[in-house]
Amino acid sequence: MQPASSRISASFARLRQQPWAWQLGATLAFWGQVRLFTDLRGHYGPLWSPLWFYLVSVLLCGCALMAQLRATPAAVPPALESRRVLGSWATVLLGGLAVLYVQAPVIAGHPIDVLQSDIIPILQNYVTRFQSGEVVYRYITNLPYPLFPNHLPLQWLPYVVAEQLGVDYRWWALGILLLGGLGAYLAFLNAQRLPLVLFAGLAVLPWLLLRHLIKVDSGLYAQTVELTIIAYYCLLAASIFSRSALVQATALVLCLLSRYSVVFWVPFFLWLLWRERGRCHAVTVAGLTGLGIVLIYVVPFLSKDWTIFTHALSEYKIATLGEWSRDNGPGGKPYHLFSGLGFASYFYTFGGGDIPARISLLQKAHILASAGAVALSAGVYWKLRHRLDYRALALISLGFYLSTFYAFIQIPYAYLTSLTLFIAVFVLAIAWRQPVSKLPAPAQP
């Protein structure tokens, strides 16, 4: 009689040979992730809901990884087919119109109100100062409360053009995502080995996702410009499959100079490029990224006042303490902490000491969890480096890392966490990619 452990191992080995099973698992995990963010957000309570949301996010990454085992880069990238290119343009047009149809009344019905969200009034201060040649990073005093600017340059610089054209910042952010971020997704999708029907289904997915998010929660992007950040991270995900060091460096600069979320993952990505693309490519990407940061942030802004960064950190602490001290949520607890996203509710409930002590504990856990996600990705790469396309692993690790980062963030705003859903679309697409196995070496005569 074969031992039970041997039967289980044999069954798992057989399952591992069936990529369709892992692809189906990834699809179901993505569906669960979207449901838990939208109509089921908070359904299982403030403690269980964030846990289930994080677990299905991790499950998606795990299934995608298993589906791509033994996949290596194709020797020759697939040629672009005219029908796929035409389909992509049609998706941009029709998908954009579908999103505009649901978002237009939201923007019209939500005039910018600093008491609802201060992000757009703050960005308007940055832009106005920049246009008039004033010092951008100094205290803002025309809000209901004094505030030191704590946003990185690429969060507000794109809106200089919007201000000059008289375009509402929210429309500008939506346009950046629809044309830039989701356009990059289609370019990424065109480079994958996908049957036409599957390509068509995956091509419309992010537009359907965005439309669904707005339909279910109309206030999600009503007072924010988070769609610009989502566009940057879509560009980063797509750039992983680019052979251009300039494209990859540009994507890194866009992300690093808009929000710091990706900072722990960047060294891992550069290490992957060093090993897989060679020292020259990795050094070029790192050098161009550093140069971009110096030219866009350090020289024009940080060098004028080296306390800008520490002032910004102080403002983050003040904002976090303010949110944690609110009583506008269930049972008189902070709403954003107990809305069903993120593990901040655990630290608020079970953390010892006063509120600052609990926040400090979560900050330490945040750093450890984020660094741990990167370390785990590095370990998986090292173990599977001969059986897996490093680009697929880099993309999957990005999805896993961002899911972990936002799960442990101090204020789990829904519009921030929504970024992980758009990266999950990339991960799902890579799960369905046809693996390309290495060919055996030719026999010696």
pLDDT range class, residue 148, cuts 50, 70, 90: confident
On whether the CB atoms of residues 205 and 425 are closer than 8 A, the answer is yes
Q: Report the alpha-carbon distance of residue 163 to residue 154 in Å, rounded.
A: 15
pLDDT range class, residue 356, cuts 50, 70, 90: very high
Residue ranges making up the domain that contains 175:
18-431
Q: Report the alpha-carbon distance of residue 350 to residue 277 in Å, rounded.
A: 46
- CA of 194: how far to CAs of 88, 202, 250, 362, in Å? 14, 10, 27, 42
pLDDT of residue 438: 45
Give domain status of residue 248, yes or no. Answer: yes
pLDDT of residue 147: 82
The phi, psi pair for 347, rounded to 5°, reads -75, -35
Residue 161 tokens read as 């053009």
Terminal-residue alpha carbon distance, the chain: 47
Give domain status of residue 4, yes or no. Answer: no
Give domain status of residue 439, yes or no. Answer: no
pLDDT of residue 116: 80
Give domain status of residue 42, yes or no. Answer: yes
DSSP 443: P
Give domain status of residue 7, yes or no. Answer: no
Q: Which residue has the higher pLDDT, 113 or 3?
A: 113
In the chain, how many domains are there? 1
Give domain status of residue 352, yes or no. Answer: yes
- Helix 196-216 to helix 419-431 angle (10° resolution) is 160
DSSP 442: P
pLDDT range class, residue 77, cuts 50, 70, 90: low
Cα dihedral value 29, 32, 92, 413, nearest 10:
-120
Residue 288 tokens read as 């161009």
Say which residues have a Cβ less than 8 Å from residue 415's Cβ, sequence separation at least 6: 220, 221, 224, 226
pLDDT digits (tens, 9 = 90+) for 254-307: 999 998 899 999 999 999 999 999 999 999 999 999 999 999 999 999 888 888
